[in-house]
């Protein structure tokens, strides 16, 4: 009994140190605004599995917000010729992408029959309309002015998307880093229309080949190239898992937003990021 009493006193003593009065201080829930986050899941049907559908997409949007936060800072760091700080940010982006890829595995527990119970309640809303996913694509160099029409009904957002469309991508910043180090790059690859999707350039490939053939001299550029390859690879895996999850749940039905669904997602897989970082591998 004595040992028990002592243990209880120790536990009680520890518990007394825990903060319990938050009348004048910030709590965990206050800091994270959990009252807003956890009350933002509004089902349009009474079906049990709609909650899964909502939470997966809301959580994905939060991860995408963090990706954009990191990509923006990494791009600025590269522009300032401060490559090393960008490596940590880009590594974090790659880890976040892994979380997004895994989320499709959770969503795939939704069966076709279950989804059909509430799909018609979604109206014309679709993941195709995710502006954060579009901003990520823009930041990685996959620009498409036609996709902006989806956001015309939101003036502020439309202007934000227009601005992102006309800004250099992280790959443009990386190419400029090659120039800064004295590697010859065609002017058309340096001063181009940033609103257009990046197209492969022979001089850029040759510059990257120089880097990869002399890793010791260009270690930081080599590391940058590999960080970008990681991100491009993860983005392709995310696209693939997206496509297969959609196919598993709705087959070849048209998407709720009007797209061709799986067919559209399969076409997206043909749009590669950072092309010279992939093509150089054949020539090394």
The answer on whether 204 is annotated among ligand-binding residues is no
The answer on whether 218 is annotated among ligand-binding residues is no
Say if CB 115 and CB 256 are below 8 A apart. no
The answer on whether 242 is annotated among ligand-binding residues is yes
The answer on whether 134 is annotated among ligand-binding residues is no
The answer on whether 256 is annotated among ligand-binding residues is yes
The answer on whether 54 is annotated among ligand-binding residues is yes
The answer on whether 33 is annotated among ligand-binding residues is no
Expressed in angstroms, the distance from the first to the final Cα of the chain is 75
Give the residue ranges of the annotated binding site for substrate: 53-57, 115, 119, 256
Give the residue ranges of the annotated binding site: 53-57, 115, 119, 242, 256
Give the residue ranges of the annotated binding site for heme: 242
């Amino acid at each position: 009994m004595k040992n028990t009493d002592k243990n209880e006193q120790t536990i009680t003593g520890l518990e007394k140190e825990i903060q319990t009065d938050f009348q004048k201080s910030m709590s965990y829930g206050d800091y994270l605004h959990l009252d807003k986050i956890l009350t933002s899941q509004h089902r349009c049907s009474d079906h049990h599995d709609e909650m899964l559908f909502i939470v997966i997409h809301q959580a994905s949007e939060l991860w995408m917000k963090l990706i954009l936060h990191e990509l923006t800072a990494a791009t600025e760091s590269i522009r300032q010729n401060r490559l090393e700080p960008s490596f940590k940010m880009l590594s974090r982006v790659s880890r976040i992408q892994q979380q997004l890829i895994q989320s499709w595995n959770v969503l795939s527990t939704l069966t076709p029959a279950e989804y059909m119970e509430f799909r018609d309640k979604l109206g014309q809303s679709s993941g195709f309309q995710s502006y954060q996913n579009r901003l990520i694509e823009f930041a990685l160099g996959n620009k498409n002015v036609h996709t902006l029409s989806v956001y015309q009904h939101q003036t502020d957002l439309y202007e934000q998307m227009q601005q992102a469309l006309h800004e250099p991508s992280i790959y443009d910043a990386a190419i400029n880093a090659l120039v800064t180090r004295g590697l010859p790059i065609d002017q058309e690859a340096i001063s181009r229309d940033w609103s257009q999707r990046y197209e492969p350039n022979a001089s850029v490939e040759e510059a990257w080949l120089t880097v990869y053939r002399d890793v010791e001299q260009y270690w930081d550029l080599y590391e940058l190239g590999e960080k970008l390859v990681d991100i491009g690879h993860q983005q392709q895996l995310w696209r693939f898992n997206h496509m297969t999850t959609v196919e598993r749940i709705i087959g070849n039905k048209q998407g709720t937003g009007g797209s061709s669904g799986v067919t559209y997602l399969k076409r997206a897989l043909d749009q590669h990021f950072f092309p010279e970082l992939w093509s150089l591998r054949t020539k090394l």
